[in-house]
A and B are shown apart, each in its own frame.
Chain A
């Protein structure tokens, strides 16, 4: 209490410093007058009375100073002085200040940008959504198959009913449709959501309403939609009367019931949603039939929000217990099935999980860059401090306290950081949305991955600034304020190459920089090799000469039968186009963002383990699919047009499946049970990759598209380029139906490259920052060496006078510089051996200790070291011995 009161009265005193002086004068004057009057009464003369009073009172100036210090807050007043003085010092050498500020800006800006990405993409990825800190992603697990799975509607409802630690269970399944149809179809991403979606997220539509509980139920019973602000503005020109109007979605008229607020993009990391439909519309928007009442049909991706104060572990324990009960109650559908809660940044079904390792590495990289920057600035300040030795010495000799001096030097550092922070944050704000540029659009829809520069990021950046000021400012400040007065006031002694204690600090800073840069270079090298290994992996299908496109029959309102007829006619027409060797429809193109169908299977003669429920992914493909894709059939045959609705159901399995379920015997002619129906295996396809290049070989099978759902992806084998083919494709489609249009048309190579985007981002990031670090380290080394040379003029001159040749001096300086570099390389190599393991999942077929990456980094770093030392060394050989010795 008392202390607070004192602080407050001191703070207010700070504001009344002006009136203080006048009042104090008046009070002292009054006091002295009374004392003089009394002395006069004692019989002193006027002069005596005055002198006695003044003596009695004591030194007025000192008392005033004590009074002033007590009155205000000396800390703030001194700080004010330091800041003013600091500004003067920085203005005196603007070039130096600018260099330091630019260096720091790079470090602080890079950190703030990465913080904003992590905040906006991983930690609080959903703008306008309340309580994201308590949100978790929900996914199913299957004991037999690693990775995540979706959740069925009945299970989801049971979790909602039985769990007590959760505020909300939210269904959110990504879907999409094709909106504008002209020459090019426009994809729009959307979500099938539970009716509680908007209320639970705390998002209030700006027009109309959100969904109502009844809209969760009934088979395609509630064709209503809430549209995004962006869609409202772009497609409906901000029509204020939009609510109640109708919009065709997937061939069914939907009533627009609401408009979401601006800045709400839904809850899918990576894409901005354009509209939302209630769960009852699942069948229309999620292929594979009506799933709301089928416990075996898993389609829900969702989120939960924990009640306040509930730990993720307790929530997981409760939901797992419920899942166990369901497993016992419904063994047919739930055997081996569990539930896994994920923090938002590890959400497996959106881009958070994919980007998590990359952003983690980005964070490590920018922290490294910041450390390098600090080491560099520290070195620059040391040089500067040396130049100010005279000033400091004089101030110390005049009685300035070392603590006071230290404070002043750190204040100067803080001023530099403040400028750099302002610039760095501006740059970070500008880079906020840059991350998405590193990633390609997928399925014709640009990704949306906004960074978020909120107060948390700002606070963290401020913390980084303070810590880095201490890091780079403390060394020089201590070194400077510890000047030995006696020796400094004596004539300046000449330096010796490689001598002096302060040289040790500077040298270690250089060693640190070289070491950190080396680690970054090794990381960049490893990731680059990994990327090359990924790109050199054979996907098992042709990537050249195969184009992929799509036609959205559902959005155009085609019935299944009409779509099939259209497909057959289009394939016939395309095969007549000059240059096209074959074409086939399929439901999913390999490496696309769509997921494959998956089903529990049974095989004659294959005995399952008690808790095993074999589940295999499969694709629905048209006739000549294998020929079009260039996937060899190793035995049996591929699908023909005759494999249609009326023909007996057939399947083609891949080699891994043949090995696992038929123990390597030729399965052609054997039976395979899928979803209760029996298929006859007619062929075995060679192994290929299905989702990405890095996946391990796994069982997979194909069914004819005619005997399953309809497909919408078109694969064309042709040497023609995408542009030429696009024209031909539009022409052929329009000949059949002028209202239809294909989606984007790209090569399969492009499709494959898009899946390696994450690796390429990591390589780009480490490459750029590794390069910057290299430059900074080289500048640091150059600085130290030129400084050493300039301080050792006398020694160099002496050596020359004693007969040393230019090459001797060159060798002397170079060997000193390269010794520093070598020290850094040793430290860096040790650090890199420990750290590269962190690259973990991003490394493909490359050991974290790959000798080539280490060797390349070693060579590059050595070259940079040689280049940085050469100029100072060359300058050393130009020493004029006569001048050097005379000075």
Chain B
């Protein structure tokens, strides 16, 4: 199955969401957004809202599921959880990401040829 072409940010957002859900277990949207901001040390300028279409896309792929439930303060909230195929995808994306970043790192360390 051909993977959809996505820009780097798109792909990395999926990776971040999947990793978050894999580490923390089921989370609502705000929880995921907070976690991503914390891990990135608030260095990532991300409109929190854009998270939601991404979550929908991940659901359509079958990598996460969503369920309405009660939050800590007992309000109705939608919780997202990672699925088995989601975990497989996470492993694949992580490996892919490491390979790409490895390659990019080698390029970054290369001494400049102009000097």
A50 → chain B closest CB, angstroms: 14
Residues from chain B with Cβ under 8 Å of A3 in the complex? 1-2
Determine which of B29, B48, B53, B60 lies in contact with A56 in the assembled complex, contact meaning CB atoms within 8 Å.
B48
**Does residue A642 face the partner (Cβ distance < 8 Å to B)?**
no
Contact (Cβ within 8 A) A27 B62: no
Q: A30-B28, A67-B52 are in contact. Are A56 and B61 (CB under 8 A)?
A: no
Does A66 lie at the interface of the complex (its beta carbon under 8 Å from any beta carbon of B)? yes
What CA separation (Å) do A33 and B56 show in the bound complex?
21
Judge whether A87 is part of the interface by a CB distance below 8 angstroms: no
| Docked pose: A33 CA to B74 CA in angstroms | 13
> Which residues of the partner chain A approach B49 to less than 8 Å between Cβ atoms?
28, 57-60, 63
Most buried by A among B47, B50, B56, B78: B56
How far is it, in angstroms, between the C-alpha of A5 and the C-alpha of B62 when the chains are bound? 8
List CB contacts (< 8 Å) of A22-49 with chain B: 23-24, 26-28, 30-31, 33-35
Contact with B along A55-71 (1 / 0, CB 8 A): 01111100100110011
Q: Does chain B have a CB within 8 A of A93?
A: no
Asked whether B53 lies within 8 Å of A57 as measured between CB atoms, the reply is: no
Please name the 5 residue pairs, one residue from A and one from B, whose CB atoms are nearest each other, closest first: A58-B47, A58-B49, A63-B49, A34-B30, A57-B49
A134 CB–B CB distance under 8 Å: no
Could you give, for residues 56-81 of chain B, a 1 whenever the CB lies within 8 Å of some chain A CB and a 0 otherwise? 11011110000000010001111000
How many A-B residue pairs have C-beta atoms within 8 angstroms? Tell me: 67
- State the Cβ distance, B64 to closest chain A Cβ, in Å: 12
Contact with B along A381-394 (1 / 0, CB 8 A): 00000000000000
Q: Are B56 and A5 in contact (CB under 8 A)?
A: no
CB contacts (< 8 Å) of B71 on chain A: these are 30
- B residues near A2, Cβ cutoff 8 Å: 1, 61-62
Q: How far is the CA of A627 from the CA of B47 in the complex (A)?
A: 108
> Taking CB as reference atom, which chain A residue is nearest B29?
A31
**Do the beta carbons of A57 and B62 come within 8 Å of each other?**
no
List B residues 29-54 near A (Cβ within 8 Å). Answer: 29-30, 33, 47-50, 52-53
Per the bound structure, the CA–CA distance linking A33 and B71 in Å amounts to 12
Say whether B47 contacts A30, CB under 8 Å.
no
Asked whether, in the complex, the Cβ of A57 is within 8 Å of the Cβ of B60, the reply is: no
Instruction: Please report the C-alpha to C-alpha distance between residue A5 and residue B2 in the assembled complex, in whole angstroms.
Output: 13
- 8 residue pairs of the A-B complex, CB under 8 angstroms, read A3-B1, A9-B59, A27-B29, A30-B75, A34-B30, A35-B30, A58-B50, A70-B60
What is the distance, in angstroms, from B86's C-beta to the closest C-beta of chain A? Answer: 12
Q: Min CB distance, B44 to chain A, in Å?
A: 12
Asked if residues A57 and B57 are in contact (CB atoms below 8 Å), the reply is no
Cα of A710 to Cα of B69 in the assembled complex, Å: 99
Residues of B contacting A24 with CB < 8 Å? 52
Bound complex: CA A684 to CA B50 (Å): 103
A647 within 8 A of B: no
Q: Which residues of B contact A60 (CB under 8 A)?
A: 49
Beta-carbon contact of A30 and B50 below 8 Å: no
Contacts of A6 in B (CB 8 A): 60-61
The reply to whether the CB of A204 lies closer than 8 angstroms to some CB of chain B is no
What's the Cα separation between A586 and B48 when bound, in Å? 101
CA distance A859 to B75 in the complex (A): 87
| Distance, CA A70 to CA B52, complexed state (A) | 10
Q: Does A10 contact B (CB under 8 A)?
A: yes
- B73 smallest CB distance to A (angstroms): 9
Chain B residues in 8 Å Cβ range of A5: 60-62
Secondary structure call for the B interface: helix
Judged by a CB distance under 8 angstroms, whether A1 is at the interface is yes
Residue of B nearest to A24 (CB): B52
Chain B residues within an 8 Å CB radius of A26:
76
Does the CB pair A63–B53 fall under 8 Å?
yes
Indicate whether A28 sits within 8 Å of B52 (C-beta atoms), given known contacts A35-B30, A56-B47, A57-B47: yes
Smallest distance from the beta carbon of A25 to chain B beta carbons, Å? Answer: 12
B47 touches A71 (CB 8 A): no
Check A57 against B1 for contact (C-beta < 8 Å): no
In the complex, chain A residues whose CB is within 8 Å of the CB of B62: 2, 5
Q: Are B60 and A9 in contact (CB under 8 A)?
A: yes
Please give, as numbers and ranges, the residues of chain A lying within 8 Å of B52 by CB-CB distance.
Answer: 24, 27-28, 63, 67
Q: Which residue of B lies closest to A31 (CB)?
A: B30
Interface residues of A in 56-100 (CB under 8 A from B): 56-60, 63, 66-67, 70-71
Mask of A174-211 contacts with B, CB within 8 angstroms, 1/0? 00000000000000000000000000000000000000
Complex Cα distance A2/B1, Å? 7
B30: which A residues are within 8 A, CB to CB?
30-31, 34-35
Shortest C-beta distance, B38 to chain A (Å), equals 12
Give the docked Cα–Cα distance between A24 and B56 (Å).
11
Contacts of A56 in B (CB 8 A): 47-48
Kindly list chain A residues whose C-beta atoms are within 8 Å of the C-beta of B77: 27, 30
Distance, CA A60 to CA B51, complexed state (A): 12
Q: Measured between alpha carbons, how far is A609 from B60 in the docked complex, in Å?
A: 82
A-B contacts besides A28-B49, A58-B48, A63-B50, 20 pairs, CB < 8 Å: A2-B1, A2-B62, A3-B2, A6-B60, A6-B61, A9-B60, A23-B78, A26-B76, A27-B77, A30-B28, A31-B28, A31-B33, A34-B30, A35-B48, A57-B49, A63-B47, A63-B49, A63-B53, A67-B53, A70-B60
- B29 contacts which chain A residues (CB < 8 A)? 27, 30-31
Q: How far is the CA of A69 from the CA of B30 in the complex (A)?
A: 22
CA distance A59 to B49 in the complex (A): 8
Residues of A within 8 A of B57 (CB): 70
Q: Please encode chain A, from 676 to 690, with 1 for each CB lying within 8 Å of some chain B CB and 0 for all others.
A: 000000000000000
By a CB distance below 8 angstroms, the chain B residues around A71 are: 56
Contacts of B60 in A (CB 8 A): 5-6, 9-10, 70
Question: In whole angstroms, how far apart are the Cα atoms of A9 and B2 in the complex?
Answer: 18
Write the nearest CB–CB distance from B26 to chain A, whole angstroms. 15
Give the CA-CA distance A1 to B3 in the complex, in Å: 11
CB-contact partner of A27 in B59, B61, B78, under 8 A = B78
* Distance of A24 Cα from B30 Cα, bound (Å): 13
A66 to B56: give the CA distance in the assembly, Å: 10
Residue on B with the closest CB to A69?
B53
B28 cross-chain contacts in A, Cβ below 8 A: 30-31
Considering only CB atoms, which chain B residue lies closest to A71 in the complex? B56
How far, in whole Å, are A31 and B27 apart by their CA atoms in the complex?
12
- Bound-state CA distance A59–B52 (Å) is 12
Report Cα–Cα, A63/B49, bound state, in Å. 6
